[in-house]
């Protein structure tokens, strides 16, 4: 049996567009003499559908589209395992249809519904009963859907019911070390059942999630027989054949040689060995797909001369091309000449347009508006006689006014152009509230939202030393070394540095990672070598900033505990870290 694996990038809700790509995949599979085409989880509807699950018009339209596809596929071409939401007697299932010969031959339903991290499938779907194999052209297909593979029960039931091989339809989002977790679960199922396992995963960005593809086939000897590329749509074909009395395919945990079905090994698409390479590609793909799938012509961002905006601009150019990226420098009297020079150098290297819009006129207008309430700014009489001075005595209020002026300016440009405004803040700053609501947090997408500050520096250095696969930007050193060498500063007051308000980023991130991702106690974090009072201070900053995070734009999920659905803390609470 020749089996095609369609690692596709669907668009949620685009039934017509997704169906058109499925037709293309089936036609390609037919040209290669395939018997079966395997899609990913909810390939027809896209994944995740979230509360579209409650829209019966959408659910019925998905069913009609699947029936129309089945009615078209009456030739002797490949059968199709198609993922979609399936309504049955008022219960909605995450399902897979087996289509062949113009008919829907069988429906299998997802048994294990994930309900942690970004997943809330128990809210939208009904769990299916333990399945049996699907009969297809003299083969018994043991079909599972994503989470069904993560424990032994479903695979064991399929194996005991006579399955010839295991097929898993997936939409498993990227996170650091996620591929290794998938592979370990797949290895466990292969070891327990002695069956070949085909794993088909979605690829592409969907809101905050990025799906990395990297579909694979594991033979009963636990060796990879096929590996599809990461972060790239692909169609791959594997030949499944019977391994009768073949010791080359013997499972060492079984005493008898295997006599089941195996995939003929073929060349494997290598995965990136560097974790930074995978992270960079995930952010680039998530950003690019968010822009493309939501119909934006391009992106706008503020370029400050700092590391965050430099990396954001580089990612945008790599994802979209220089022609779709517009940058703006918005200096104030606190903006250093070095920042202006670095921003100009970066823009020239990336090949993007950089315009300069000083915020001084707007700031002076706001000073005149607000002065009656906040008091006269301090300054010398000669200066005050002509124009208000910059009111540093207003403290953080004045700093936030500058950030919000920049946000208003960038939003105006984005509105006028019809482009998407990117925010440039990172996870460390968002965690502790070192960001201004309606200022530098203003925008529609935050590429660095799940990247700690130290990780931002790591990615920038990596990008200067490597050229990412599929990148549309220039090769070589793109981020000026002077940006990497300088101490981070918001430049909202004279001689300001981030370290004036925050712990050193190495210490801050060292505390934030176990605090946010592992929920460690105060004792556990002090055992790591951090001072008791510093840990308590960081915890308090994190708690006070929750209301800001609720208003932050979406951004690419990269860690196991990203802000948003992964971490849902109350805004109002009085728990003190112990």
Catalytic residues: 41, 110, 146
**Greatest alpha-carbon span in the chain:** 98
Contact 199, 437 (CB under 8 A): no
**Residue 504 DSSP SS3:** coil
Contact criterion met (CB below 8 Å) for 180 and 141? no
CB proximity list for 347: less than 8 A, separation 6 or greater: 303, 313, 327, 353, 354
Contact 200, 5 (CB under 8 A): yes
SS3 548: helix
Beta-strand runs (E) in 101-145: 103-109, 134-136, 139-145
Instruction: Return the DSSP state at 51.
Output: G
Take residue 371 and report the two structure tokens written for it. 């002065």
Q: How many helices (H) and strands (E) does the chain have?
A: 18, 19
**DSSP labels, 460-497:** HHHHHH---TT--S-SS--S-HHHHHSPP---SSTT--
Cα(286)–Cα(137) distance, integer angstroms: 39
The neighbour count for residue 162, using CB atoms within 10 Å, is 11
Q: Are strands 261-263 and 234-242 parallel, antiparallel or unpaired?
A: antiparallel
Q: How far apart are CA 479 and CA 444, in angstroms?
A: 24
- Can you read off the two tokens belonging to residue 458? 């790591």
Q: What is the 3-state secondary structure (H, E, C) of 344-410?
A: HHHHHHHCCEEEECCCHHHHHHHHHHHHHHHCCCCCCHHHHHHCCCCCHHHCHHHHHHHHHHHHHHH
Give the integer Cα–Cα distance in Å for 279 and 373.
Answer: 48
The two structure tokens encoding residue 199? 């794993």
Q: What are the distances in angstroms from CA 141 to CA 1, 76, 164, 170, 213?
A: 12, 19, 6, 16, 22
Structure tokens at 305: 């001369």
Q: Is the dihedral of CA 267, 272, 278, 280 positive or negative?
A: negative
Helices 275-293 and 453-465, axial angle in degrees (round to 10): 100
Residue 227 makes CB contacts below 8 A (sequence gap 6+) with 214, 215, 216, 268, 269, 270, 271
What letter does residue 514 receive in the DSSP assignment?
A: H
């Amino acid at each position: 049996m020749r089996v095609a694996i369609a690692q596709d990038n669907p668009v949620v809700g685009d039934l017509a567009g997704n169906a058109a790509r499925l037709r293309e995949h089936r036609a390609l599979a037919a040209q290669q003499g395939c018997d079966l085409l395997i899609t990913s989880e909810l390939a027809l509807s896209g994944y995740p559908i979230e509360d579209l699950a409650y829209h019966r018009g959408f659910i019925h339209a998905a069913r009609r589209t699947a029936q129309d596809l089945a009615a078209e596929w009456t030739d002797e071409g490949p059968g199709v395992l198609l993922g979609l939401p399936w309504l049955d007697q008022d219960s909605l299932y995450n399902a897979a249809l087996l289509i062949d010969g113009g008919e829907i031959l069988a429906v299998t339903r997802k048994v294990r519904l994930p309900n942690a991290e970004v997943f809330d499938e128990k809210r939208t779907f009904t769990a299916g009963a333990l399945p049996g194999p699907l009969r297809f052209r003299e083969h018994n297909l043991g079909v599972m859907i994503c989470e069904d593979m993560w424990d032994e029960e479903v695979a064991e039931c399929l194996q005991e019911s006579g399955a010839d091989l295991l097929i898993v339809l997936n939409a498993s989002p990227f996170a650091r070390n996620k591929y290794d977790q998938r592979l370990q679960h797949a290895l466990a199922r292969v070891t327990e059942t002695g069956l070949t396992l085909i794993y088909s995963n979605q690829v592409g960005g969907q809101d905050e999630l990025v799906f990395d593809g990297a579909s694979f086939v594991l033979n009963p000897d636990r060796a990879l027989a096929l590996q599809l590329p990461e972060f790239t749509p692909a169609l791959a074909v594997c030949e499944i054949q019977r391994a009768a009395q073949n010791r080359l395919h013997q499972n060492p945990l079984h005493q008898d040689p295997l006599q089941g079905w195996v995939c003929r090994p073929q060349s494997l698409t290598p995965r990136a060995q560097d974790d930074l390479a995978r992270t960079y590609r995930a952010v680039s793909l998530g950003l690019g797909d968010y822009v493309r799938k939501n119909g934006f012509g391009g992106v706008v961002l503020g370029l400050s001369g700092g590391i965050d905006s430099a990396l954001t601009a580089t990612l945008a150019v790599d994802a979209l091309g220089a022609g779709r990226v517009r940058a703006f420098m918005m200096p104030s009297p606190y903006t250093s000449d070095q920042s202006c020079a670095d921003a100009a150098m970066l823009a020239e290297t990336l090949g993007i347009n950089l315009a300069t819009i000083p915020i001084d006129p707007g700031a002076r207008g706001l000073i005149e508006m607000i002065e009656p309430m906040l008091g006269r700014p301090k300054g010398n009489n000669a200066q005050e006689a002509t124009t208000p001075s910059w009111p540093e005595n207003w403290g953080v209020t004045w700093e936030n006014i500058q950030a919000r002026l920049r946000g208003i300016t960038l939003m105006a440009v984005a509105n006028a152009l019809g482009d998407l405004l990117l925010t440039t803040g990172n996870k460390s700053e968002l965690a502790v509230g070192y960001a201004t609501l309606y200022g530098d947090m203003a925008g529609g997408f935050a590429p660095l939202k799940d990247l700690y500050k130290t990780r931002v520096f790591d990615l920038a250095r990596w990008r200067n030393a490597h050229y990412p696969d599929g990148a549309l930007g220039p090769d070589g050193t793109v981020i000026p070394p002077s940006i990497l060498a300088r101490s981070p500063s918001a430049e909202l007051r004279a001689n300001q540095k981030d370290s004036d308000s925050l712990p050193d980023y190495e210490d801050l991130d060292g505390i934030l990672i176990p605090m946010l991702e592992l929920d460690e106690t105060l004792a556990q974090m002090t055992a790591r070598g951090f001072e008791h009072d510093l840990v308590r201070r960081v915890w308090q900053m994190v708690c006070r900033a929750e209301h800001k995070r609720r208003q932050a734009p979406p951004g690419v999920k990269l860690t196991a505990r990203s802000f948003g659905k992964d971490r849902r803390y109350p805004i109002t609470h009085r728990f003190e870290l112990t």
